[in-house]
Structure 1
Amino acid sequence: MKKTRWAQGLTGAIVVSVALTGCQTGGQGQDKTAKAPEAKAGDQAGKPAPAANADGKVLDKKIEVSVFMRPRPESVESNDLLWMKPIVDKTNVNFKWLKAPTDNNDYIEKFNLTLAGGTLPDLMEATPDLLNKGGENGVFEPLNKLIDQHMPNFKKILEQNPAILKDIKSDDGNIYFFPQISAVKTINLVIYRQDWLEKLGLKEPKTTEEIYQVLKAFKEKDPNGNGKNDEIPFTTRNKIKGLLPFVEPFGVSFEEDFYVDNGKVKYTYTDPRLKDALAFTAKLYSEGLIDKEYITNDQKIWESRFTNEVSGATFDSFPRVDYLEKLVAKANPKVNMNGLTPLQGPAGAPYTKSQQTLIKNGFAISSKSKLKTEIAKMQDWFYSPEGQLAMNFGKLGETYTMENNEPKYTDLVMKDKNNSPLIKMYELGHREFAYAWDIRYENAMVPPKLAKIRDSVAPFIKEKYPVTLSFKQPERDVLNSKFTEITTYKDEMINKFIMGSEPLSKFDDYVKQIDKMGIDAVLKIQQASYDRYLKR
């Protein structure tokens, strides 16, 4: 399928963007100069707006759009909830949500099964790679003409932000999905009991040796004060990725399967530096400083570790500082949760690759949908100044107010006794459709303490391997066969090394086995895709 005239016209802008940005070791991710667009209320002059009808509705008649998207355990999928109802009323769109799993792996499996079934919903959420794959195979509709003809707000965002276009454009020149556009980069960090630290007379750890001593003190010096040796110093609900802060100080990251070194794509899990990272992590595990059940912990068990005051540290998203503090406060009002900046280790300067990428997930339209134009118009409203306010802040007068031309959440969101503001928003019906996240969304939601923690991590973020690469079908066939097998083996062995059931003296044998399984063929494909990405 040929590019539309509009998409061709922006190609030059993409090339210029790449040339100005340059290539950095560790992967070409989000352009550091790129910023997600903000919806400035009261300052909409000169900005495009979707064509509205006489009654102010986006569409002139009511329609029902079926949607397959990740649910939130805290949210009920309903068109009548406080957050969703104004959106439904404005767009004239009633959403029919198909049942979907919350677990990421289960969701991807159900996504693929839905595609294989042939009967698709109108809209489907997934990662850019999965949506591009579907688009290139004719499952999802190319959006170029729809954007050109019916989406002035989204079109302007792409014209003003070449980095966004670069990340959503497939190698065949088409756009197959509407993106969720991030506003900030900080996401995960070590969260810990500051009150435990103070009780034991310890300082905030800055190095791998210091975090070892802190966790050892949490284990041996009874910080919960119950007279029992029952502490599990560090826990996680994020399985192997939850151990990231103990690995990155050695120069490798569980955040990326691949990384770029002087323009060459390499595989993270055969990097020689990984052996030392695993040795340190295995030491923590063997001494009982890391939760023995980190592989199987779910949300409830993770929460119980803190509500029962047996754990004093975890690795999670920064809003969970407030969330965990409120949970623990029910048992201990004196709790004080805090967050750490990345640890110094043998690799040199502290860093992290745990970040919110410029493009999160996306939504694609089924090529068989009879509502393509209507969905495009609805989606364009999501990207409009008015729509962004609705998606980010909810209903004016109830979930937010305007003060000095800035949105501010009401007490309904901010002062719930049992929920953090973010969880309360989900409870009220907030859904993460494709729109531009507004930095004011977080600035209004997080208290000063949380904002300070978030911003303290930002300078340490290092670009990671792009998540928006596109692959040709023969390349996908190789990845589906060889890399799937390699990943299964890698996951098994990494956990065995950490848990001590496999000695690290066999690390070199593990690397040789991955070589035999065909990692060179996988790297060749990744290199080709990465090179194409740079030329978009």
Structure 2
Amino acid sequence: MKKRILATVLAAVMAVTSLAGCGAKRGERAGTTAGGGQTVAESTTAGAAGGFNESGYPIVNEPLTLNVMLGIRNMDSMIEPNDMKVIQDLEAKTGIHIEWEMIKESDWDTKLNLRFASGEYPDIILSTSGKVDVEEYGVTQGLLLPLDDLTAQYMPVYTERIEGEDTDPTAGMAASDGKKYGIGNLVGQNINTQAHYFINQTWLDQLGLPMPTTLEELTETLRAFKSGDPNGNGEADEIPVEMDLTSNYYGVRWMLPMFGVPVDPLKWIYIDNDKKVQFAANQEGFRQCLEWLHLLYEEGLVDAEILSQDVNAVQTKLAGGNAGFFTAWRLTAKGWDDGVAKDCVLYMPAAPEGSKPCLARYLEVAKNGAYVTSTNQHLPETMRWLDALLETETMFSMYYGAEGPGWEYNKENGKIDSVVTDTSGTLDFLGSNALFFAPGSYIGEVFNMAQQRIEKTEYCQIYEEAGIIQKYSDDYLGMAPLTSEQHQNCLLIETDIDNAVKEYMARFISEGITDDSWNAFVSMFDGMKINDYLKVYQDAIDQMDIK
């Protein structure tokens, strides 16, 4: 395997077993058994000794049925999996028949908990949208099996893709005991940050303005957008800055990096250049950002509905094309190709004098997508079946539909092109609900990325070369090997923090900030156990020894 930057993460995670607290010994829990009291090793040996083939197809010489609990997104409608050609082809190839139990995302938590409470578990859980708590069901109760040894022995396709990357994309899947209880799900795109900044080049040209390079110049440009009638309709209806308060990609959180605060997308913390976990809301950059937004609000330079509108309203206005400056995932194929996309260009973010922008670094890391339960009596067969799901043609057929209507090989470079055009009806493939493991190096070798994904990658390269991407990704915070108890405690604290931050952001934008109001805001967090909260994550980051 190539040298991996994240390799130390897994080793360090294994060292934090002490975080898991007291309880039954690992070997005394169901996590070390499989089916009828067998150990994992015994079940593996039993499978290999029967009609099981360690390589080649079929996987089994005699018909075998496994039960799969499949999570599907609320928006998706599909035919029964066993009526899908790709599933039928897989069964013919492997000799393994699947009994599918499809669960909508909205019902997932309830039905999963009921299944575990009943004692009658599926052999396999497949879920790329519904969450499965590996700390509770794996580490603590042992209802899910650790899969490290099994993947190494029976999943060569999966293992080869991991080893083909410079960094191990599955390192963050390790639980607090250092073991991995899932098979990774990842759609690589070769990106390094989420939101980008965009400015209306057509308006700049119309007003004869240069590209602003400082925060002062940007502010003056926004004033010109408001007063100079750059859309040429004779009305003062331009929206210099389009955004809302809290939504993904369009909220205050995505303006903070201009002020040197690369806040985590889900929490109000981040990792600084010294590997220290910082609380975003008490940083000087946080105050500067809110003071700037108040200035824009007071002068009518930001959407007047910033405090009340939601993501749908923002996207509708971007589709209308009457915006001068905004943040977004990318420009094209977002619903506003005839709106802001035709007039706007990538903007190199400005920062206050004496500081530098710092955007949160995004790591392309896998998340758990498949699990094996402790009552599964056919572990070798199961692992080989999961590996078969990930073989290139099968995986793309599961995700895009069968070869022909769903995807095809490009005649010029031999890579796969996605040709499916409509996924709004009843699907005859699993779509985004399929297990899909395609790290960046692999997907670049086998798949022709859509133009909008190439666009996104190019934006990321520009920001990387400019040196404005965070050194240590906040994504490591999501990999932190917290115990179930620590995780629950942190969630409670995070809820209190989030509510307070959002309330005061709205107040600061609309009313402004004084030293007294700022000090009251900062001191408020002392009563929320913020120091204990930061220490939990700091200890985990120290143990992980991130690079």
TM range, normalised to the smaller chain? 0.7 to 0.9
Percent of residue pairs bearing the same amino acid type? 19
Amino acid corresponding to residue 303 of structure 1 in structure 2: Q
Assess, with a 3 A threshold, how the Cα gap between structure 1 residues 16 and 496 changes in structure 2: closer, same or farther.
closer
Contact kept? 1:151, 1:376, Cα under 8 Å: yes
Q: RMSD value over aligned CA atoms?
A: 4.4
Amino acid corresponding to residue 461 of structure 2 in structure 1: D
Q: Which TM-score applies when normalising by structure 2? A: 0.71
Matched position secondary structure for 1:205 = coil
2:17 is the alignment partner of 1:14 = no
Contact kept? 1:252, 1:273, Cα under 8 Å: yes
Aligned to 2:42: none
| Equivalent runs, 1:232-311 vs 2, <5 Å | 232-236=239-243, 239=247, 242=250, 243-255=252-264, 257-294=269-306, 297-311=309-323
| Equivalent runs, 1:68-107 vs 2, <5 Å | 68-70=71-73, 76-78=77-79, 86=86, 89-90=89-90, 96-100=101-105
Aligned to 1:65: 68
2:479 is the alignment partner of 1:486 = no
Assess, with a 3 A threshold, how the Cα gap between structure 1 residues 201 and 58 changes in structure 2: closer, same or farther.
farther
Matched position secondary structure for 1:400 = strand
Amino acid corresponding to residue 520 of structure 1 in structure 2: N
Distance 1:527 1:78 in 2: 47
Aligned to 2:140: 137
- The one of 511, 522, 527 equivalent to 2:533 is 522
**Once structures 1 and 2 are overlaid, which stretch shifts more, 166-175 or 306-315?**
306-315
- The one of 314, 328, 344 equivalent to 2:326 is 314
Distance 2:238 2:428 in 1: 32
| Equivalent runs, 1:303-452 vs 2, <5 Å | 303-318=315-330, 320-328=331-339, 335-346=342-353, 348-353=355-360, 355=362, 357-365=363-371, 367=373, 370=376, 373=379, 376-387=383-394, 389-390=396-397, 395-398=402-405, 399-407=407-415, 409=417, 412=419, 430-431=431-432, 433-437=435-439, 438-439=443-444, 444-446=449-451, 452=458
Contact kept? 1:52, 1:59, Cα under 8 Å: no
Amino acid corresponding to residue 507 of structure 2 in structure 1: K
Shift of 1:252: 0.9
Assess, with a 3 A threshold, how the Cα gap between structure 1 residues 362 and 222 changes in structure 2: closer, same or farther.
farther
- The one of 470, 475, 479 equivalent to 2:481 is 470
Aligned to 1:30: none
Assess, with a 3 A threshold, how the Cα gap between structure 1 residues 341 and 511 changes in structure 2: closer, same or farther.
same
Q: Deviations over 1:199-222 (max 9, x none)?
A: 232333333233323333333333
Q: What runs of 5+ residues in structure 1 fail to find an aligned partner?
A: 1-9, 20-48, 102-109
Aligned residues: 472
Q: Which TM-score applies when normalising by structure 1? A: 0.72
**Larger-gyration structure (1/2):** 2
Distance 2:325 2:183 in 1: 37
- The one of 453, 457, 464 equivalent to 2:459 is 453
Shift of 1:440: 5.9
Q: What runs of 5+ residues in structure 2 fail to find an aligned partner?
A: 13-52, 92-96
**Once structures 1 and 2 are overlaid, which stretch shifts more, 180-189 or 428-437?**
428-437
Contact kept? 2:242, 2:302, Cα under 8 Å: yes
Matched position secondary structure for 2:104 = coil
Aligned to 1:3: none
Shift of 1:513: 1.3
Q: Deviations over 1:36-60 (max 9, x none)?
A: xxxxxxxxxxxxx995535x99996
Shift of 1:427: 12
Matched position secondary structure for 2:168 = helix
Distance 1:267 1:129 in 2: 28
Amino acid corresponding to residue 285 of structure 2 in structure 1: R
Shift of 1:436: 1.4
Distance 2:356 2:313 in 1: 34
- The one of 183, 203, 207 equivalent to 2:214 is 207
Contact kept? 2:148, 2:180, Cα under 8 Å: yes
Assess, with a 3 A threshold, how the Cα gap between structure 1 residues 217 and 360 changes in structure 2: closer, same or farther.
farther
- The one of 147, 172, 180 equivalent to 1:175 is 180
Matched position secondary structure for 2:437 = coil
Matched position secondary structure for 1:164 = coil
Matched position secondary structure for 1:358 = coil
